Amino acid sequence: MEKMSFELELRWNPLLREWVIVAAHRHFRPWQPKTVCPFCPGSEETKGKWNVLVLPNRFPSLVENPPPPFSSPKPPYKVERAYGICEVIVETPIHEGDLCDLSQENVRKVIDLFAERYQKLGSKSFVKYVFIFRNKGAAIGVSLHHPHSQIYAFPFIPPRIEKELRSSSEYFEKHGRCLFCDVLKAEKEDGKRIVYESRYMVAFVPYSAMWPYEIHVYPKRHVGSLPEMSEEERDDLAWVLRVVTATYNSLFDFSLPYIMVFHQIPTDDKDYGFYHMHIEFYPPHRDREKLKYAAGVEWGAGVFIYDRKPETRAEELKAACKKALMKLKNQ
């Protein structure tokens, strides 16, 4: 592929006080290409022997040497260069599958690579936040089906994280305890929404879930990021990620699309002792055939409406989890 020039900038939304990444070149990225898979072994970037692989994103939204902005706005608008790094983690040489289809050792390797990239990218001066995520399924808009995750190293703390940081910091000030540890305690005491619990992790439907089959995974120990996790905890996390994804695929007996995100502490070297890392899953389905949309009320007003009770959905997920565990253990 010939070298592409990037048209990129960060535009400030003064009303919502949020950055928007304008990446004009991304309009031309391949959409579900019918040709050879760029992540299967043997292509130019995937030569040699490997299990997991980190590749630069060929259509990055943020780059290490961003061009000067192409717009020159007047206040109240403002613009910045789009500093950052976008990477792809190819999780296996095998073209099809979900995290639950990979071996335990393979998922562990993925987690280790996440931890390594988090540290490596986070150590760069222009990176304030390392965001790790996985989009799965055409309903989510995934353009390449080969199992992969992505990393966005941001030059700012994304608003959703900033909100969680503010609430957990204020909660810590007021109560002297971690908000997430207390959420975990409340979930365990109630118990109705816990889908799966392992030695070091708890997977549950949050009390105020927004997406029908939303699941959050919390480490039981108070840790801020993956590098703080022990060997055993990482093994356990790999297992739980397999269990959650297998649970989703057992729910309606088809490969359920989802978004998986890691929420870890920022890498701007401030103290975030009050924050507790966790993983969130948002599947868009509300039924076998129906999708939940962020529509007028959700998107336009920012208020989510959850049909049915989260406790009922948690029951369904628990039943699916039982089936999934039998399958996983027979693998």
Partner interacting with residue 124 (select from Fe ion, Zn ion, none; CB below 5-8 Å by kind): none
Residue 154 has, within 13 A of its CA and on its CB side, a CA count of 18
Cβ(168)–Cβ(161) under 8 Å?
no
Tell me the two tokens of residue 269.
């070297």
Work out whether 142 is an interface residue with Zn ion (CB under 5 A): no
Q: Which of 55, 79, 140, 181 binds Zn ion (CB under 5 A)?
A: 181
Single-letter residue type at 34: K
Tell me which residue has tokens 């004009």.
24
Q: How far, in whole angstroms, is CA 33 from its chain's centroid?
A: 24
Q: Annotated catalytic, 263? A: no
Partner interacting with residue 152 (select from Fe ion, Zn ion, none; CB below 5-8 Å by kind): none
Residue with smaller CB distance to Fe ion, 101 or 280:
280
Q: Which of 8, 99, 153, 178 binds Zn ion (CB under 5 A)?
A: 178
CB of 261 to Fe ion, least distance (A): 8
| Alpha carbon separation from 139 to 142, 175, 283 (Å, rounded) | 8, 41, 9
Residue with smaller CB distance to Fe ion, 99 or 217:
217
Residue with smaller CB distance to Zn ion, 25 or 222:
222
Q: What angle do CA 219, 260, 297 make, to 5 degrees?
A: 110
CB of 39 to Zn ion, least distance (A): 5
Give the SS3 label for residue 230. Answer: coil
Residue 160 CA to residue 184 CA, distance in Å, equals: 20
Residue with smaller CB distance to Zn ion, 184 or 251:
184
Residue 181 CA to residue 185 CA, distance in Å, equals: 6
Q: How far, in whole angstroms, is CA 62 from its chain's centroid?
A: 17
Cβ(66)–Cβ(201) under 8 Å?
no
Residue 18 CA to residue 10 CA, distance in Å, equals: 10
Partner interacting with residue 263 (select from Fe ion, Zn ion, none; CB below 5-8 Å by kind): Fe ion
Tell me which residue has tokens 């998107």.
299
Neighbours of 281 (CB within 10 A): 24
Q: Which of residues 184-243 bind Zn ion (CB under 5 A)?
A: 222
Q: Which of 148, 216, 263, 285 is catalytic?
A: 148
CB of 263 to Zn ion, least distance (A): 12
The footprint of Fe ion (CB under 5 A) covers 263
CB of 30 to Zn ion, least distance (A): 13
The residue with its CB nearest to Fe ion is 263
Q: Which of residues 81-120 bind Zn ion (CB under 5 A)?
A: 95
Q: Which of residues 249-308 bind Zn ion (CB under 5 A)?
A: 276
Work out whether 53 is an interface residue with Zn ion (CB under 5 A): no
String of contacts with Zn ion for each residue 28-47, x by CB under 5 A: ---------x-xx-------
Tell me which residue has tokens 């990979």.
102
Q: Which of 180, 204, 213, 272 binds Zn ion (CB under 5 A)?
A: 180
Q: Which of 146, 242, 263, 292 binds Zn ion (CB under 5 A)?
A: 146
E-strand stretches of 2-59: 8-13, 18-23, 53-56
The residues carrying an active-site annotation are 148
Residues in the site for Zn ion, rule: CB under 5 A?
37, 39-40, 95, 146, 178, 180-181, 222, 276
